[in-house]
Amino acid sequence: MSSKLRILVPVKRVIDFAIKPRINKAQTGVETKGVKFSINPFCDIALEESVRIKEADKDKVENIHVVSVGPAKAQDVLRTALAKGADNSTLIDVGDEEVEPLTVAKLLQKVVEKDKSNLVILGKQAIDDDANQTGQMLAGLLNWPQATNASKIEIDGETVTVTREIDGGADTLRAKLPLVITTDLRLNEPRYASLPNIMKAKKKPLDKLKPSDLNIDLVKRLETLKVVEPPVREAGIKVETVDELVAKLKDLNAI
Ligand code: AMP
């Protein structure tokens, strides 16, 4: 296999991270009407890393392809990704269907095979479903090695070294391409798209596919029963002295 990188970056359109989500009236999910959507922050980090790898050595990277599985509106996040440095993009249009991580992974597997990608960089999780599954399932389907929660990525020919954030430390792994990597928060700080690049991105390719074009059915294995807000916290009491605090704790049988 040529050591030139053909990078696939799956990006999900999610409710903007700065917005406080509200549960809808039917308690089936989060209210999406009139809410700002953006690229999932961990996917933005995955894209940033891919663009930095290319900027560091143009000859090393043949292509950066961003793919989103979502509604027609997900074209917005693809255009933003193109403006930030992706070469081409694909929308896999699923309308308003919620697609489970296994199905997303199956769709991505088909794209990897079509593209002959040798590196997939995903976010470690989508901030809407918090599933943290897609990268791992994709690696399983492809039978590729995977390095999750990356905080540093170094590529030397076909050898990739990934530092992972783990509880209380760092774990360094080495693997040969092809490889699946998922990104953690501290890998990099994504750039903003500049206006000239936003204009230029309008001319970059944006293809549209349906799941049936990839021979994948949108099968649902999970049913959401109910989504509720966390219980409201009861108001606390202020104490003036440590003695008073100890007395209160004793009253509550806490000590
Ligand atoms: P999740 O497993 O849902 O937490 O998502 C982890 C990562 O998988 C995301 O950061 C994306 O890189 C990718 N991913 C998940 N869902 C989608 C989607 N609908 N479209 C594109 N990429 C996705």
Q: Say what the pTM is.
A: 0.91
Interatomic CA distance for residues 116 and 59, integer angstroms: 18
Give the three-state DSSP class for 26.
Answer: coil
Q: If you average pLDDT over every residue of the chain, what do you get?
A: 95
Mapped onto helix, strand or coil, the DSSP state of residue 77 is: helix
Q: Calculate how far, in angstroms, residue 10's C-alpha sits from the geometric centre of ligand 1.
A: 6
Task: Determine the pLDDT at residue 200.
Answer: 96
Give the up-direction half-sphere exposure of residue 201: CA atoms within 13 A in the CB hemisphere. 20
Show the ligand 1 pocket: residues with CB < 6 angstroms.
10-12, 40, 42-43, 46, 68-70, 99, 101, 104, 122-123, 125-126, 129, 131-135
Q: Per-residue DSSP letters for 124-147?
A: S--TTT----HHHHHHHHHT--EE
| Ligand 1 atom nearest to CA at 94 | 19
With the most atoms of ligand 1 within 8 angstroms of its CB, the residue from 122, 127, 128, 208 to mutate is 122
What are 99's two structure tokens? 């697609």
Give the number of domains in the chain.
1
pLDDT at 110: 98
Helix (H, G, I), strand (E, B) or coil at 33: coil
Distance 12 CA to ligand 1 centre (A): 5
For residue 164, how many other CB atoms are within 10 A of its CB? 19
Other CB atoms within 10 Å distance of the CB of residue 202:
10
| Predicted confidence (pLDDT) per residue in 110-149, tens digit | 999 999 999 999 999 999 989 999 999 999 999 999 999 9
Specify which residues 23 forms β-bridges with: 30
With beta carbons less than 8 A apart as the criterion, state whether 110 and 215 touch.
Answer: yes
Q: What is the pLDDT of residue 234?
A: 87
Q: What confidence category does residue 2 fall into, taking pLDDT thresholds of 50, 70 and 90?
A: low
Structure tokens at 252: 């509550």
pLDDT digits (tens, 9 = 90+) for 165-175: 898 899 999 99
Residue 248 main-chain phi, psi, to 5 deg: -65, -45
Range of the domain at 197: 5-251
* Segment 224-247 mean pLDDT: 91
Q: What is the 3-state secondary structure (H, E, C) of 157-179?
A: CCEEEEEEEECCEEEEEEEECCE
What CATH number corresponds to the domain at position 205?
A: 3.40.50.620
pLDDT at 229: 87
So what's the pLDDT on residue 236? 87
The rounded distance, in Å, linking the Cα atoms of 25 and 5 is 47
Find out whether 21 and 76 touch, Cβ atoms under 8 Å.
Answer: no
Closest CA to 7 of 85, 71, 106, 80: 85
Distance 173 CA to ligand 1 centre (A): 23
Beta bridge partners of 65: 8, 88
The atom number, within ligand 1, closest to the CA of 138 reads: 8
How far the first Cα of the chain sits from its last, in Å, is: 65
Q: Best of 76, 92, 134, 209 to mutate for ligand 1, by most ligand atoms within 8 A of CB?
A: 134
| Residue whose CA is at the smallest distance from ligand 1 atom 17 | 12
pLDDT at 3 over 90: no
The strand pairing partners of 61, in sequence order, are 5
Q: pLDDT tens, 210-223? A: 999 999 999 999 99
Confidence of residue 237 (pLDDT cuts 50, 70, 90): confident
What are the structure tokens assigned to 176, written together? 């040969």
Give per-residue pLDDT as tens, 182-198: 999 999 999 999 999 99
Instruction: Determine phi and psi for 182, rounding to 5 degrees.
Output: -115, 145
Longest dimension (CA), the chain: 72
